[in-house]
Structure formats: structure tokens, C-alpha cells
């Protein structure tokens, strides 16, 4: 019996080199005891049934070493599995493949079936890491760059294979992922992965609150299936997910919200009215999508007193499947008259930044935290007034529906009102400005100043500086989306 020691923490190359040498030496699977360095014995070797004579019946040194590509791909996944039996099982299949290459495609072979199960489990674990890992901001680097840390507890050794996803997704921020099965670090230029076990850090920051708010937005009580939700987001991940604390509360409140949704539906004009009208006018109404129905409903909104003085509701506009939602404060004088968001002076600043970043305005969904123009009449002029927290909270009802319908990858929040509408907090804008805040696999929040703030800055130098920051964040939002 030959004992082979491996580090055994997901390194495919380590196993491949040893397996290759053993295979070339003609070492039979049952003659190898695979162990990892911490002393764990290769249990599978002990339980392997006796193997018949060498399947290729040829001296080892003359044996051609040929491995189907599909096996290499399978082995690269399986090697990340935590079960120590993976080494022996992979070697046995590698051995058998020398005599029968079709084995890799056999559905009924027991060894292959176990390997496929292991592969599936690794893939699922990697998917969960992408979906449920939560970054939190930590102390800045010595050069002032912002840094994020995340703690995750994977089942398998998947850090190395999953880290490139986070590199692509959060390329503009410095981050460190710690797990008991390895670490990954990105500094904007280099991705460093180790198989060292990390200890759980003590993390708590305001990103937690953002997460909870976002989760509230995308939570649709009418689609609530508790069992399915728990299968998709197993409880073991909850302790590291700030929004999970909301789940019991949201489940409890789901019935009331469904009632409110049914109520809201009833207030829309019945579809047959539209059809009758179309017979008279000769035009066919466009089928109402979720957003169109919402806009129609919002047109009659009287949830707060602002509707009284405004000309009309200015609802969001843009594709229902937009990857990017751009969120402002409230319509201005021009928007109030036109009935469309961002068509006045602030809209021009935004348009210029979008054009500079090579983005199409039409590809994003543009909306406001508050849908009615709040102003104070002064002579013939209507002077913009900032919406207060109560008005923002009332109008959040619409914003939540918009986000829920669109499920964007990126939300660009422009100004303090937009951030308050998303987070429920009036005191976090300054600390979030110029930052992107990851919302897991689902979305990223990018925070910048409002374009009308740029128009109000009297100092040309300050304006140029802020403008550059604004344009950079618009471009970043575009790239992420």
C-alpha cells in the first residue's frame, strides 16, 4: 500500500501531478491510501472493493496517458469537494478511463454517479457563495482607499474557483473574503487566493441596513413560498446575512400586504374599459405591463398632500428590464409640466454625463424618490422645496413597486433624498457618496450627488471637482450594469 499525502484544499494541480505519476507507474487504485496532511486517513481506499487486473493489460511505462477533457473539467470541480474519498474515486475513474473512454459519458456507472453528485454539490456551493456573501466596509487602507471584508462559510473548498466572479463583479473596490476553507483578496490589480483557514472577523456596519431595505423592496408577499425560500436560502446562511433578520417579520406581514395589493388592483380601471375605448377610437391599447399599470395607478395618487399643488404625477420611465435604475429626488418645474423625469436643467447635466460615459439614456430606467413637484409659489415662479422625510416615506410605496418590477442590477442614487428613499435613513448620504455598496449577487447601489447640486455650486473649481466625481459614478454605474 502506497500512502500519498496531499494538502487537499481544492488544489487540482496537486492531485493531478500525483495521479499522473502514479498512473504512469501503473499503480493500481486499491494500492493507494490517499491522505491529507492533517492526518485524516483515506477512508475510501480501505472500502474499495478489490479491483480486477489492470484494465489495459499493458506495462505501466508503455501506457499512453490520455484523459478526456470532460474528465479534467469534472475533476477540477470534484477536487473542491470536502469529502476525502474524492481523491481515490477520481483516481479510480482515471484508471478505468484508460481502458474505456466512454466511461465518462456513462450515466449508470456507480463511480461516475458519485462524482457527478460531488460536482453538483460543489457547483451549488459556489452559487450560494455568489448569492449570499455580504461585504462590509472596514478600516480604509493607509492610502485612504476604501476596503470591504466578507465572511462566508462554504461547504467545500470553493474560494479559488469562485473568487474571479467577485473580481469581475466588484472590480472597483478593494475587498477581502475570509472563510474557514481559504481566503481571497483583491486590491484593484491583483487577486490573491490562499487555502488558509480564516477566523470569523467581528463586522458590523451600515451596509446591513441597506441590505435590509433592499430585501424589503424585492420581497413580494404574493410570491411567498416559505419552503421554497428556505430551500433556496438555507438557514445556515442566515446568520451572516443582515436581511435574514427580516424574514420572520415579512412572512408575518405578508397577508396584510397581499390584501393591500388586491385593494390597489381594484382601483385600476377594468381592462374592458380600455378595450371598449379602442373600439371607438380604433386604436388597440398596448398590453399593460406591471410598470404601465403602476404608472396609471400613480397618476391618481393622493397618498400625500403634494399631489394638490402639482400639475401631475411624474412617474419613472424606461425599459421594464433595465439593468440600471437612476434615482433622483423629485420632478422640477419643467418635469412637472412635461410629465416626464429629468427633462429640465438637471436632466441636461445627467444626459451629458451619460453621453460622456457612452451610455444611452433610453437603456436606463429614470425615476424619482418623490413623484410630485414640491414648490413654494413666489410671484410667477415656483421655487423648488426639498421633500421632507414623511413625503419621502409616503412615496417610497411607488419606488418599491418600481424596483420590485424591474429588479435592476444597479441603482444609481443621486443625492440625499434618493439615498433616504432607499435606506430609510436621512443621515447616511455623506458617508455613502462616491461609493458603490454591493447588494450581493442581486444588485449594487452606487451613490453620487444630485445633478442640480452641481448647477448650484458657485465656485468653478469645486464645481469641476464635483462634476468629475459625478461623471465617474455615472460611468461606474453604467459599467456595473
Point out which residues bind ligand URA (CB under 6 A).
328-332, 335, 341-342, 344, 346-347, 368, 452
The C-alpha angle 441, 443, 446, rounded to 5 degrees, equals 135
Residue 317: DSSP 8-state: B
Give the shortest CB-342-to-ligand URA separation in angstroms: 4
Q: Which three cell numbers stand for residue 337?
A: 409640466
The C-alpha angle 349, 352, 353, rounded to 5 degrees, equals 90
Residue nearest to ligand URA (CB): 328
Give the shortest CB-335-to-ligand URA separation in angstroms: 4
Residue closer to ligand URA (CB basis): 240 or 334: 334
Give the shortest CB-313-to-ligand URA separation in angstroms: 12
Sign of torsion over alpha carbons 359, 360, 364, 368 = positive
Residue closer to ligand URA (CB basis): 175 or 375: 375
Give the shortest CB-141-to-ligand URA separation in angstroms: 34
Inter-helix orientation angle 207-218/416-423, to 10°: 70
The burial class, CB within 10 Å (0-12 / 13-18 / 19+), for 178 is buried
Residue closer to ligand URA (CB basis): 15 or 373: 373
Residue closer to ligand URA (CB basis): 106 or 388: 388
Give the shortest CB-285-to-ligand URA separation in angstroms: 27
Give the shortest CB-368-to-ligand URA separation in angstroms: 5
CA–CA separation, 462 and 458 (whole Å): 8
CA–CA separation, 297 and 443 (whole Å): 27
Residue closer to ligand URA (CB basis): 267 or 456: 456
Q: Is 354 helix (H, G, I), strand (E, B) or coil?
A: helix
Residue closer to ligand URA (CB basis): 112 or 324: 324
Instruction: Determine which helix (DSSP H) or strand (DSSP E) holds 192, and give its type and residue range.
Output: strand 191-194
Residue closer to ligand URA (CB basis): 22 or 326: 326
Give the shortest CB-76-to-ligand URA separation in angstroms: 49
**Count of other CB atoms within 10 angstroms of residue 283:** 9
CA–CA separation, 332 and 341 (whole Å): 8
The burial class, CB within 10 Å (0-12 / 13-18 / 19+), for 192 is exposed
Amino acid at each position: 500500500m502506497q500512502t500519498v499525502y496531499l494538502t487537499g484544499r481544492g488544489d487540482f494541480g496537486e492531485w493531478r501531478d500525483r495521479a499522473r505519476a502514479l498512473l504512469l507507474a501503473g499503480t493500481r487504485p486499491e494500492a493507494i491510501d490517499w491522505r491529507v496532511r492533517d492526518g485524516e486517513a483515506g477512508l475510501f481506499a480501505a472500502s474499495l472493493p478489490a479491483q480486477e487486473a489492470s484494465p489495459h493489460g499493458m506495462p505501466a511505462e508503455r501506457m499512453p496517458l490520455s484523459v478526456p477533457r470532460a474528465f479534467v473539467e469534472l475533476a477540477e470541480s470534484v477536487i473542491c469537494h470536502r469529502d476525502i474519498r474524492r481523491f481515490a474515486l477520481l483516481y479510480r475513474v482515471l484508471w478505468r478511463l484508460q481502458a474505456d473512454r466512454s466511461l465518462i459519458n456513462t450515466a449508470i456507472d456507480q463511480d461516475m454517479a458519485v462524482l457527478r453528485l460531488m460536482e453538483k454539490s460543489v457547483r451549488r456551493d459556489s452559487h450560494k457563495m455568489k448569492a449570499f456573501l455580504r461585504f462590509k466596509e472596514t478600516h480604509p487602507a493607509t492610502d485612504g482607499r476604501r476596503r470591504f471584508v466578507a465572511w462566508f462559510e462554504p461547504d467545500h473548498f470553493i474560494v479559488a474557483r469562485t473568487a474571479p466572479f467577485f473580481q469581475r463583479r466588484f472590480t472597483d473596490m478593494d475587498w477581502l473574503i475570509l472563510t474557514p476553507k481559504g481566503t481571497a483578496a483583491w486590491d484593484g490589480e491583483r487577486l490573491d487566493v490562499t487555502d488558509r483557514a480564516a477566523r470569523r472577523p467581528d463586522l458590523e456596519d451600515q451596509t446591513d441596513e441597506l441590505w435590509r431595505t433592499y430585501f424589503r423592496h424585492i420581497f413580494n408577499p404574493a410570491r411567498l413560498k416559505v419552503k421554497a425560500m428556505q430551500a433556496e436560502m438555507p438557514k445556515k446562511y442566515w446568520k451572516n446575512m443582515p436581511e435574514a433578520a427580516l424574514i420572520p417579520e415579512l412572512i408575518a406581514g405578508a397577508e396584510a400586504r397581499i390584501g393591500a395589493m388586491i385593494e390597489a388592483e381594484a382601483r385600476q380601471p377594468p381592462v374592458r374599459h380600455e378595450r371598449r375605448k379602442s373600439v371607438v377610437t380604433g386604436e388597440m391599447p398596448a398590453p399593460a405591463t406591471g410598470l404601465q399599470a403602476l404608472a396609471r395607478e400613480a397618476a391618481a395618487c393622493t397618498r400625500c398632500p403634494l399631489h394638490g399643488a402639482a400639475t401631475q404625477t411624474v412617474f419613472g420611465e424606461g425599459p421594464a428590464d433595465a439593468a440600471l435604475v437612476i434615482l433622483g429626488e423629485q420632478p422640477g418645474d419643467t418635469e412637472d409640466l412635461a410629465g416626464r423625469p429629468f427633462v429640465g436643467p438637471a436632466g441636461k447635466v445627467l444626459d451629458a454625463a451619460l453621453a460622456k460615459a457612452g451610455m444611452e439614456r433610453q437603456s436606463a430606467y429614470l425615476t424619482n424618490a418623490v413623484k410630485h413637484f414640491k414648490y413654494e409659489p413666489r410671484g410667477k415662479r415656483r421655487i423648488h422645496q426639498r421633500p421632507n422625510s414623511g413625503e419621502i416615506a409616503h412615496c417610497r410605496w411607488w419606488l418599491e413597486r418600481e424596483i420590485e418590477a424591474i429588479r435592476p442590477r444597479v441603482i444609481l442614487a443621486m443625492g440625499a433624498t434618493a439615498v433616504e428613499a432607499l435606506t430609510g435613513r436621512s443621515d447616511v448620504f455623506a458617508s455613502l457618496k462616491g461609493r458603490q455598496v454591493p447588494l450581493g449577487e442581486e444588485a449594487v447601489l452606487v451613490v453620487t450627488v444630485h445633478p442640480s447640486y452641481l448647477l448650484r455650486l458657485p465656485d468653478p473649481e469645486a464645481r469641476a471637482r464635483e462634476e468629475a466625481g459625478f461623471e465617474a459614478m455615472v460611468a461606474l454605474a453604467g459599467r456595473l450594469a
